[in-house]
Amino acid sequence: MRIAVLGTGVVGRTLASALLSNGHEVRLGSRVAGNEAAVAWAEEIGGPASEGTFADAAGFGELVINATAGAASLQALEMAGAEQLAGKVLIDVANPLDASRGMPPTLTVCNDDSLGEQIQRALPDVRVVKTLNTVTAAVMVDPTLIEGPHTIFVAGDNVEAKAQARELLQELGWPAASILDLGDITAARGMEMYLALWLRLWGATGTAVLNVEVRRGDGPAA
């Protein structure tokens, strides 16, 4: 499959490399062609790896991953072009974090809205799936870095799009039993707000290689 990864940071490059290893063709997209990080990545990887603008990548990909900085994601997707994205599955792994006032960062959107929802409203012809935003990049592509079972979440309005996202997650090593569908795209609110806790867990444990496991009990429903 041809996959566009928008964003040249650690998350974008990590996902792009893992997808290439799984046999996909990948184009890394950035604001301008010839982005230093993207060019270095493409030259290091070789083979079916390429780079270009957001629009180049979006036009190339049969599936698109938004790995841009959350505060800039809407602008990046506007640059990618609605016509280039129409009808495609867009997997949103971004978090709307604002570190301008220091650490820990705050959220630019929360409570009654989310970045995932904003993307879906801005691009109604795109099938948005929120996933992978609750773990660090290394764990996204290698869940075995954490011993034992742990949970990754998905949310989105389109059943077929979520099924495609689940297939991609399993390719990355996530067991089917560890993938929990939280429902429609409004569930992205909780997934993104979880970052406030995740950042504190990182600080308390001294490692970003961490995750949670959702366990079901036998007690009565709430």
What's the pLDDT tens digit per position in 98-156?
887 777 888 999 999 999 999 999 999 999 999 999 999 999 999 999 999 999 999 99
Burial, 32: exposed, middle or buried (Cβ in 10 Å; 0-12, 13-18, 19+)? exposed
pLDDT, residue 220, reads: 74
DSSP code, position 154: E
State pLDDT tens for residues 142-199.
Answer: 999 999 999 999 999 999 999 999 999 999 999 999 999 999 999 999 999 999 999 9
Q: What is the mean pLDDT of residues 38-53?
A: 90
Check if the beta carbon of residue 70 is closer than 8 Å to that of residue 108.
yes
Q: How many CA atoms lie within 13 A of 182 on its CB side?
A: 19
Task: Report the distance separating Cα 136 and Cα 134, nearest Å.
Answer: 7
pLDDT at 221 over 70: no
Strands (DSSP E) contained in the chain are: 2-6, 25-30, 49-53, 63-66, 89-92, 97-98, 106-107, 127-131, 152-156, 179-181
Length of the chain, in residues: 222
Check if the beta carbon of residue 45 is closer than 8 Å to that of residue 20.
yes
For all residues of the chain together, what is the average pLDDT?
95
Residue 35: CB atoms within 10 A of its CB come to 18
pLDDT, residue 105, reads: 86
pLDDT, residue 19, reads: 97
pLDDT, residue 45, reads: 85
State pLDDT tens for residues 18-38.
Answer: 999 999 999 999 999 999 999
Domains and CATH numbers, the chain: 2-205 (3.40.50.720)
State pLDDT tens for residues 58-88.
Answer: 999 999 999 999 999 999 999 999 999 999 9
pLDDT, residue 132, reads: 98
pLDDT, residue 102, reads: 79
Integer angstrom CA distances of residue 157 from 57, 120, 132: 24, 9, 17
